[in-house]
Structures are given as C-alpha cells and as structure tokens.
Structure 1
Amino acid sequence: MPSRSLFATRLYEDRIDDPAFLAELEEACRDIAAEDRAGRAWSRQHGYRGYTSYASLADLPQRDPRFAELVRRLGAHVARFVVDCAFDLGGRKPKLDSLWVNLLKPGGAHSGHIHPHSIVSGTFYVAIPPGAGALRVEDPRLPLMMAAPKLRADAPADQQRFVSVAPQPGTVLLWESWLRHEVIAGAGREERISVSFNYR
C-alpha cells in the first residue's frame, strides 16, 4: 500500500477484574462524596451534575487506604502505557500528581477538555449503569482540518475524528494528557462513578 499511518494517538484500555475491590471502592467514593462539603459546593457552583472532588481534596490515597490500593494497582498499567508511548523519562518513573472522585448523575456530561502539566491521564470506572455516558476522545489535529471533507461512515477507527469508548466497571483507560476528551450525556438511571487521575 503506498500510504502509511503517522503520528499515532495511543489509547490504553485494560481491566482490574476484582468485584470485591470494586465494591469497596464504590463505598469509598460514596463516603468521600458524603463528607466533602467543599466539593459538593464547588460542583453546584460550576454546574457539575453530581459530585467531584477535583477542586476540593488532594490527598485521597492518604485519606483512605482503598484509594491507596487503587493507586498501587494502577502503577503497572501506567508503566505499560509509558513503554507503549516510547517515552524516554531518563530512568525516572511517572509520579501520581492528582486523583479525584466523580459521581455523575443521570443525564450528566463533562465537556471537552485536556489535562495540562501532566504526561498521562486516565480514569478507572467503578460503577457504570446501563446507558451511562461514554468517554469520547477527539483527533488532536481537528483544529487544523480547514477544508477536510467528512469521512465515510465505514472509515476505520484510526481515521475517525471522534472515537467513543463505553467502559464497564473495572475498566482502566489511559491517554496522553494533551488528548482532548469528554463524557457524553447518557441515558442511565443511576450514578456513573469513576476515579480520574494525572501522572507527571
């Protein structure tokens, strides 16, 4: 074939398949949401449909051993992703920079954004009801496509402008922090619970 693909964008997807741990982590997320008045107030003020600890708590792994266990389990996934991305970190390991809880109510969404000042970002999915919103990632070249025609419906995933991933409980998703992403509003009837994080 005379053409080839260049400038690949990596999206890592794996699982932590441990129902008992998921149940413990769901309880931990709900406990934090119940205790964190500042986080609930921030969520209301900023129109977040549900609760996030993003702007209120920076010490979840120290605050609760269930989050510390999640960080321990995520370490191997992040290490594999760093190798897959061919990062040269000069012998250093990625370091957790931030970790926060998200409880998104039915119909809630999270508009497109990036995570500055980090190298790897991701989300671990704790409770995903049927019909919950997917994660949608955007081709980073999109702002430069001044006269690009629309794509055929059968275009392969690596040529699409947007790709959606419908996670299940226990799914780990990782991407480079510059990759723009969003949570699409879903039709689920229960809360969508996840833990997001950044590594630097």
Structure 2
Amino acid sequence: MTTLFATRLYRAALSAHAPAVDTTELLATCLSVAEDDEAGQDWCEANGYPGYTSYASLTDLPWRFPIFADLVRSLDAHVAAFAEDLAFDLGGKALALEDIWINVLPEGGIHTGHIHPHSAISGTLYVALPSGTSPIRFEDPRLPMMMAAPPRKQDAPADLQTFHTARPEVGDVLLWESWLRHEVPMNIAEEDRVSVSFNYGWN
C-alpha cells in the first residue's frame, strides 16, 4: 500500500529553537496590546469579529516589542525545519515572515473555516489555553471532490480522517501549508484563548 499526497502538520515546543521566549511575558504583552489597540478594537466591532485581533491594525509587532522580535527569530528556525521536512526546493531563498498578529478569543467566540492565500506556510503559537478551550481543526483539502464518497469510520487512522483536531499546549507551535483549510470551534472556556498567528512567504 502506498500513501500519496501527504498533508504535513508540524508541532513542536517553541523552546525547541532559540532564543528563549517567556510565554507568561508574551501573554501579558498580548493582553496589553489588545487593551490599548483602539484601531484593532474598532475593526473587530465593525466586522463582527469575536474578541480581538491585531491582524488589521498592527503590522509591526516585532519592531514595537522586543519579545516579538525574539519570537520571530525562533519561528524562523521552526519554519526552516518544516520547509526541510516538506522537501521544499527554495532555490537558495529562505521563507520570510509576512504577517504576525495577536488573537484573543473570548467565551463563545469562533474562527470559521478559512485558508491563508498568497502565503506558503502559516502557523500559530499558543499563549493561553484555559481548561475547556477550543482546539484547532483541519479539513482534508480533497473534501470538495468527495461528493459520492462514503463517510470514514470513527476509528479510522488519523491520516484517513476527513477532519483532524489538534489540541496544542501552551508554548506549542503548529505549522501547516497555507492552503490547508482550518477553523477554531466555539470557545466554551470562560477565559480567553490567546494565540499568535503568522504567515511566511517565498519571495
């Protein structure tokens, strides 16, 4: 039996690559930014976005905050390792950070299914995951072509499931190719779920 067209999901502790980043300090920074970023708050309210994201308001977090600059240096190494695992032929060019943003998802908040167009690698670092918080769920990219396919058994191997739910821990980095559709189901925890998401491109 041969497995074809594998979809890879990278998971590692942020601490696997230097420099060291204190997630407690990073959490405090994220919450402080969320509290002070009026433009981001206004965008979230105008667009019905649950909680807070800096995606549409702050494009220079690594310049503003040294801890984000350290974080990007660590993420650069994680992304390079993932690119090697994917056997990417980058033609001598490194994948480079395009965007990095903060997400604060309150109780009842969701992020509906989406992809990240125009990027090569996307990912998330998990900063606060209260008990009962949402996981992240990935969708088989072939799903639109499976009109007449029977459903998978509930105990099917992970690589044959139509959806894959990942339950990271604080300090974990998840990386995936940007075309992979994903979502965050409703957060049923009473406290905020906090993460930092990012895109890398090949230019």
Partner of 1:67: 68
Give the RMSD, CA atoms, in angstroms.
1.4
Q: Which runs of 4+ in 1 moved over 6 A?
A: none
Partner of 1:148: 149
1: distance between equivalents of 2:79 and 2:193? 23
Partner of 2:57: 56
Partner of 1:39: 40
TM-score by length of 2: 0.94
SS in 1 for 2:138: strand
Partner of 1:171: 172
- Following superposition, the deviation at residue 76 of structure 1 comes to 1.3
Which residues of 2 match residues 1-200 of structure 1 at below 5 A? 3-17=1-15, 21-200=22-201
SS in 2 for 1:173: strand
1: distance between equivalents of 2:190 and 2:4? 41
Q: Matched residues, percent identical?
A: 56
Letter in 2 for 1:21: D
Contact 2:21–2:71 (8 Å) recurs in 1: no
- Following superposition, the deviation at residue 20 of structure 1 comes to 7.0
Letter in 2 for 1:92: K
- How many residue pairs get aligned? The number is 198
1:8-56 per-residue CA deviation (whole Å, 9 max, x = no partner) reads 0000001125997001100110111111111011111222211000111
TM-score by length of 1: 0.96
Contact 2:187–2:193 (8 Å) recurs in 1: no
Name structure 1 gaps, 5 residues minimum: none
Please, which moves more after superposition, 33-42 or 19-28?
19-28
- Following superposition, the deviation at residue 153 of structure 1 comes to 1.0
